[in-house]
Amino acid sequence: MNIFLLGATGNTGGEILKRLIPEKYTIKILVRNPAKLNLTELKQFNQVELIQGDVFEPGKLMKHFKGNDLVISALGTGKDNSYTEIYSQGGKNILSAMRINGIRKLITITSGLIDMSDPSTDNFFMNRIIRPNYNKVYYDQTRWETILDNTTDIDWVCVRPTNLLNKPFTGKYRINLNHCPKGGWKIGRADLADFIIKQIDSNEFVHQKPVIAY
């Protein structure tokens, strides 16, 4: 299977790439800054092709999506809460390039906290500290989810992580549709990557928004 990954220089994208390589997938990664990767190590794996680019370059996506079977987007803004369209406009660019190239499946990431109807995140810490700190990011993730809600021709899975941690893989986590699993509010990126890898061959969460937490 040929997989196109966006966000491979990021924390979660890096974990996903680490998991894709031993699975022997053919992988194309689009990164803005290749210097952030260990290129010497990557060159050992001749199944990885690197493309320098940006999700805001639709022509590049259209060209390089060719021949792929599935797209994984681990795009994010780090700690930056400036106005962004990487999810909404970036997502539209991804969907258009997928359609042109006949790619059917997309795995994408937003956040468990964008769902204001979730009683388990309706508390002082989330509402007064975390949500205001990331309100512009969450706004664009919400726009992206609205686009996905109206997308039926692509088999998308929208993974909503809780608070992300850089901790070792455990394989022990809970999944709940839309809302956080009771009492769960954090997840390691290696476990998030594990769940994402599992979605490659599974249709269980197509057109769904699973929240992942310990």
Residues that bind ligand NAP (CB under 6 A): 6-7, 9-13, 32-33, 36, 54-56, 74-76, 78, 86, 109, 111, 137, 161, 163-164, 189
Residue closest to ligand NAP when measured from CB atoms: 10
Are 211 and 160 in contact by the 8 Å Cβ rule? The answer is: yes
* DSSP reduced 3-state for 94: helix
Of residues 58 and 99, the one with the C-beta less far from ligand NAP: 58
Report, in Å, the least distance between residue 106 CB and ligand NAP: 14
Report, in Å, the least distance between residue 191 CB and ligand NAP: 12
Report, in Å, the least distance between residue 7 CB and ligand NAP: 4
Of residues 111 and 199, the one with the C-beta less far from ligand NAP: 111
* DSSP reduced 3-state for 56: coil
Instruction: In whole angstroms, give the CA distance from residue 52 to residue 191.
Output: 27
Report, in Å, the least distance between residue 110 CB and ligand NAP: 7
Burial label for 33, CB within 10 Å (0-12, 13-18, 19+), is: exposed
Specify the residue for token string 């928004």. Answer: 209
Instruction: In whole angstroms, give the CA distance from residue 104 to residue 154.
Output: 5
C-alpha angle 13-107-192 in degrees, rounded to nearest 5: 50
Of residues 24 and 146, the one with the C-beta less far from ligand NAP: 146
Of residues 83 and 152, the one with the C-beta less far from ligand NAP: 83
Report, in Å, the least distance between residue 90 CB and ligand NAP: 6
Of residues 57 and 155, the one with the C-beta less far from ligand NAP: 57
Are 161 and 196 in contact by the 8 Å Cβ rule? The answer is: no
